[in-house]
Structure 1
């Protein structure tokens, strides 16, 4: 059983279901407050500075919710992302802690498969994501009781069944998606209404932004995440951050 520090009478096994129901029609900022009240341990929000993550950063900072904001700097991000990172820190007057790949692991990876070896096969790409993202994420979440993400259900067919709150057994904590039921248009409207700083690449056809070599603009009518790892099969395009150890996406009801 995960070592989740709860601030209520719920057990770690029942808390995900109660929170999933409690989120209901609440706005994201209140969902974050509900989560904060229910969990006494550390809560970590991982941002990649995309539209959804910027909206959640605004909610956390504007509402003053005690949530640590961190990012995974893979070393291959777009220049626009680094510029936005600085703008975001200036706007909200707080530092965003970065977690980087371990230099020994990264050196071995590049020596083994080449600097752009992730194009060679799905296995090579996943190995790159593993070193640059998955392992740093483990360190970022170490000791936390809950993990907040910007996942939305309509981003891809893979993510539709994930739900608001689940028990992430890989990291042994609660995983909360406060924007799960929001559309992209709703998030964009929220960001515009609140003058949230956004990545200029969004306006250039990049709805989902990851590492520069692995992200392209999408054509009209393409799914949001079609520009991520576009050379791979659509059904298999996840980086590993949101999948279980067996490679499957973590679904709602994982606490059962």
Structure 2
């Protein structure tokens, strides 16, 4: 199961993608998202981890009256916090949508039988690949573009994220409407709009992943310090 680049052609020429990134760089997230919704109707997927960023994007699409143009999905690893699953249900009810659950080929007991118990404690990269990266790769084959909630200030690896970019790993156009937003801008939007969000954000979890690999962050720590604590790892592999 190699992590190879996707071979299918992008839905837009790379020169056009680069031009769009420049022209939309100063645009507000709502305008960037609106462009994607209009450009790829029915062929656009929105990745939702039920963190504040992703639900804010769902709210923007709903406010524009264009939720029907995008498929909202989440990677159901089977290891999420109960609060995350509860937030999924709240978001579904609030916006009248049914987020698509994208699941791994292996159930947790099957993964344990093949790779040993609690793989995330020994080989978190492999666990992420099995439960996130490969399921996402298969799912995205049915789309031309995907929308993510990543922001430049989240990690050094994301600092150069373009608002529109070529995602060669998955063979899609990748749209990142919130790339320029700060945490303060995000939460101003969420609270002002009454966007439903994961209650773990109020309990010291600025970044929320699978329960076994996420801990609260102490005051003064990096916001991503709670992810894969004890490992030299800050990304699950979706946004490498």
TM-score by length of 1: 0.85
For 1:95, the equivalent position in structure 2 comes to 98
Once the two structures are TM-superposed, the CA of residue 134 in structure 1 deviates from its matched residue by 0.8
Once the two structures are TM-superposed, the CA of residue 224 in structure 1 deviates from its matched residue by 1.2
1:60 aligns with 2:61: yes
Structure 1 pair 239/231, CA: closer, same or farther in 2 (3 Å)? same
1:111 aligns with 2:113: yes
For 2:46, the equivalent position in structure 1 comes to 45
Q: Distance in 1 between matches of 2:225 and 2:23?
A: 33
Q: Distance in 1 between matches of 2:167 and 2:136?
A: 13
Q: Distance in 1 between matches of 2:43 and 2:62?
A: 16
Once the two structures are TM-superposed, the CA of residue 195 in structure 1 deviates from its matched residue by 0.5
| Superposed structure 1 runs of 4+ greater than 4 Å apart | none
TM-score by length of 2: 0.91
Q: Distance in 2 between matches of 1:135 and 1:21?
A: 31
Q: Distance in 2 between matches of 1:81 and 1:41?
A: 26
Q: Distance in 1 between matches of 2:63 and 2:182?
A: 21
> How much is the aligned-residue C-alpha RMSD, in angstroms?
1.7
Encode CA deviations 1:91-117: one digit per residue, 9 max, x unaligned.
Answer: 00111111111136x544312443323
Once the two structures are TM-superposed, the CA of residue 231 in structure 1 deviates from its matched residue by 0.9
For 2:16, the equivalent position in structure 1 comes to 15
For 2:239, the equivalent position in structure 1 comes to 242
For 1:213, the equivalent position in structure 2 comes to 212
Encode CA deviations 1:63-115: one digit per residue, 9 max, x unaligned.
Answer: 123111110000000000011101001100111111111136x5443124433
Q: Distance in 2 between matches of 1:98 and 1:68?
A: 11
Structure 1 residue ranges without an equivalent (≥5): 6-10, 244-256
Structure 2 residue ranges without an equivalent (≥5): 1-6
Q: Distance in 2 between matches of 1:111 and 1:54?
A: 35
> Is 2:10–2:166's contact at 8 Å kept on the other side of the alignment?
no
Question: Would you say how many aligned residue pairs link Structure 1 and Structure 2?
Answer: 232
Q: Distance in 1 between matches of 2:197 and 2:40?
A: 30
Q: Distance in 2 between matches of 1:38 and 1:2?
A: 19
For 2:4, the equivalent position in structure 1 comes to none
3-state SS in 2 of match to 1:174: strand
> Is 1:54–1:198's contact at 8 Å kept on the other side of the alignment?
yes
- In the TM superposition, 1:78-227 aligns within 5 A as 78-103=81-106, 106-120=108-122, 124-227=123-226
